[in-house]
Amino acid sequence: MPDFSSFEDAPVPSPTTETEQPSKETSVNQEEPNQEPSEDFVAGVLAQLDSLYRTALRMTNNQQEAEDLVQETMLKAFRFSNTYRPGTNLRAWLFRILNTSAINRYRKLATHPTPASLPEGEDFYLYNHIRDLSGQELTQGAEEEVLEKYLDEDVYRALMDLPYNFRMPVILADIEGLSYKEIAEALQIPIGTVMSRISRARRQLQKSLWQYAQERGYVKAH
């Protein structure tokens, strides 16, 4: 079961509460279901199915829950396809539904949630630690060489250790390749908040992976 206890205790944002308000047509209006989605819409939604599932799986760490979330997202998308305006960002619209569905689904697990935070730190934590151990400046690919040694389970473990409100932006940015603007639309938070959370999440991931590297003997501790 995913940990949503760190997510802000507030109603799921509506289009009128975010800094960059999406158009009325791109919000999911629960009161005005449509009758039949267009073929282009169906094709566009189905094209995002794998991406939605990957994200849901990383959000929940549970295959069945991920499948349930994606199914709920797809049902809402098809039922309320009339609220999506053709030509706008369908991918961000779908991820917004997925994120909102996840929060609503697990909100009851958090009786007194508080906003989560991550410690401030340097942007190049991993790079600097490898440099300090080697005693010299590193080439651009040196950090990547170390990162390539990590097992998938290490990366996944570090990712799941992030608070949800930091995990989701970094999943969308670094795994699914969404732009900052798309992530802001999907999560209904300002772009500046997206950038801040991704930056801090990446630093925390680097710190966690550095610890795993020491545990597995990829690098030596001071």
Q: In this structure, are 138 and 103 located in the same domain?
A: no
Residue 14 covered by a domain:
no
| Residue 171, domain extent | 125-215
Residue 191 pLDDT exceeds 50? yes
User: What is the arithmetic mean of pLDDT over 92-97?
Assistant: 95
Residue 28 covered by a domain:
yes
Q: In this structure, are 211 and 130 located in the same domain?
A: yes
Residue 189 pLDDT exceeds 80? yes
32 pLDDT tier (thresholds 50, 70, 90): low
Q: Number of structural domains, the chain?
A: 2
136 pLDDT tier (thresholds 50, 70, 90): very low
Q: What is the CA radius of gyration of the chain?
A: 19
Q: In this structure, are 92 and 141 located in the same domain?
A: no
Contact (Cβ atoms closer than 8 angstroms) between residue 60 and residue 51:
no
Rounded Cα–Cα distance for residues 66 and 57 (Å)? 5
Residue 43 covered by a domain:
yes
pLDDT at site 91 = 95
Q: Which of 77, 109, 141 is the last residue of a domain?
A: 109
Q: In this structure, are 45 and 104 located in the same domain?
A: yes
pTM of this prediction exceeds 0.75: no
117 pLDDT tier (thresholds 50, 70, 90): low
Q: For the chain, give the mean pLDDT.
A: 73
Residue 8 pLDDT exceeds 60? no
Interior/surface letters 117-147, b for 16+ CB within 10 angstroms, e for the rest? ebeeeeeebbbebbeeeeeeeeeeeebeebe
Q: In this structure, are 129 and 204 located in the same domain?
A: yes
